[in-house]
């Protein structure tokens, strides 16, 4: 038996198999029901699944998507996949569950995630999961790639209006987003998907590296917010910080070691073990591991998948 897992985040889609090496993994187009709609998300998922199973169908699959936050959305996506000819057993869950499977399969601990979006999730002693954050780019995702760029752009506009200190972010972000003027940065960002905004994080990092205090402050505030999310998840799970196993994942941590270091320093100051960096493809492997346990009725996989989202 072989099991397939998809990890569909805000900007990337990856698929992997369980057991490892059962078949080749790969990449596909990212689709989110909250951004693209359920029909478009089902169509995109079906295309990725067809690509992944060219050499044979899996025993079962779990698709973990950003933006799946309730059973109704999950059911609609599964129905959409069935209508598009996907016949093998498949479950659709939120992407937080795949990340938790990647980092917390061994037992109690906490994971902080910073990609296009962000969240923290802790596994309690009884195996239950407790999530904080990741509530979408409009009202949440503190410390994520999107949020860091948004903070920087907001600081730039405040500087333009004389409401905050001058910053090199003004010219840098105006050029990076090809805005007709600094004053139009907001209008430009509002037309872009979260992943497109997050993709300009390198511009903010470059300005910060050249010593710009405003850019550095945006990064420091993001790290502080991620620390707060993680602390809240630990408290919800009823865990103690001393010696706690911690993990960190997501594209921002992968690409920016200094940011991981800043967040990690805050967590170790609380008494936790130094965070272990989750590999970029680990969440897709985690989704495949979930598919295995879900199909077999094993704990905690079945409980996590049946919950759909946190």
On the question of pLDDT at 52 being above 90, the answer is no
**What is the reported pLDDT for 302?**
95
Q: How does pLDDT run across 195-224, given as a tens digit for each residue?
A: 899 999 999 999 999 999 999 999 999 999
Q: What is the mean pLDDT of residues 79-90?
A: 94
Give the pLDDT score at 97.
93
* Percentage, residues of the chain above pLDDT 90: 75
Lowest mean pLDDT among 5-9, 11-15, 57-61, 263-267: 11-15
Q: Give the Cα separation of 155 and 219 in Å (integer).
A: 12
Strands 129-132 and 90-94 turn out to be unpaired
Give the mean model confidence (pLDDT) for residues 45-64: 89
Residue 140 scores a pLDDT above 90: no
Looking at residue 34, what is its pLDDT? 66
DSSP 246: E
Q: What element of type H or E holds 15?
A: strand 13-18
What mean pLDDT comes out for the span 150-164?
A: 96
Cis peptide before 19 (omega within 30 of 0): yes
pLDDT the model gives residue 190: 93
Cβ atoms < 10 Å from Cβ of 221: 16
| pLDDT at residue 65 greater than cutoff 70 | yes
Paired tokens of 7: 């990890």
Q: Measured between alpha carbons, how far is 118 from 136 in angstroms, rounded to an integer? A: 9
Sign of CA dihedral 233, 216, 117, 202: negative
Query: Is it the case that residue 36 has pLDDT exceeding 90?
Result: no
pLDDT, mean of residues 116-121: 92
Distance CA 5, CA 97 (A): 12
Beta strands in 68-108 (DSSP E): 90-94
Predicted structure pTM score: 0.86
Kindly state the average pLDDT of the residues 163-183.
Answer: 96
Structure tokens at 196: 């497109």
The predicted pLDDT at position 199 comes to: 93
Q: What per-residue confidence (pLDDT) applies to 54? A: 82
Mean pLDDT across 88-106 = 93
- Kindly give, in sequence order, each residue whose CB lies less than 8 Å from that of residue 295, ignoring residues fewer than 6 positions away: 1, 3, 59, 60, 89
C-alpha 101/C-alpha 122 separation (Å) is: 11
Q: How far is CA 284 from CA 47, 77, 97, 112, 257, in A?
A: 17, 18, 10, 17, 22
* Cβ-based burial of 154 (10 A; exposed 0-12, middle 13-18, buried ≥19): middle
* Radius of gyration in angstroms for the set of CA atoms belonging to the chain, rounded to a whole number: 20
């Amino acid at each position: 038996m072989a099991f397939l897992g998809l990890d569909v985040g805000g900007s990337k889609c990856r698929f992997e198999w369980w057991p490892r090496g059962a078949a080749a993994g790969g990449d596909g187009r990212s689709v989110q029901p909250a951004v693209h709609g359920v029909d478009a998300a089902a169509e995109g998922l079906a295309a990725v699944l067809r690509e992944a199973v060219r050499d044979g169908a899996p025993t079962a699959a779990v698709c973990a998507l950003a933006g799946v936050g309730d059973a109704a959305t999950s059911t609609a996506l599964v129905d959409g996949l069935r209508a598009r000819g996907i016949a093998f057993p498949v479950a659709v869950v939120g992407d937080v569950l795949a990340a938790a499977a990647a980092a917390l399969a061994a037992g109690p601990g906490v994971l902080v995630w910073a990609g296009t979006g962000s969240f923290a999730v802790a596994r309690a002693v009884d195996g239950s999961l407790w999530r904080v954050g990741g509530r979408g780019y409009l009202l949440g995702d503190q410390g994520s790639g999107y949020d860091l760029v948004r903070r920087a752009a907001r600081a730039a506009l405040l500087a333009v209006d004389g409401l905050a200190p001058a910053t090199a972010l003004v010219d840098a972000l105006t050029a990076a987003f090809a805005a007709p003027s600094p004053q139009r940065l907001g209008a430009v960002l509002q037309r872009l998907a979260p992943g497109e905004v997050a993709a300009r994080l390198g511009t903010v990092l470059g300005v910060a590296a050249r010593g710009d205090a405003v850019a550095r402050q945006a990064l420091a505030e993001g790290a502080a917010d991620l620390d707060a999310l993680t602390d809240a998840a630990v408290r919800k799970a009823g865990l103690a910080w001393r010696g706690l196993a911690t993990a960190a994942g997501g594209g921002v941590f992968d690409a920016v070691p200094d940011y991981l270091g800043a967040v990690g320093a805050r967590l170790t100051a609380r008494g936790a073990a130094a965070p272990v960096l989750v590999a970029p493809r680990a969440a897709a492997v985690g989704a495949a591991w979930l598919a295995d346990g879900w199909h077999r009725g094993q704990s905690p996989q079945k409980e996590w998948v049946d919950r759909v989202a946190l």
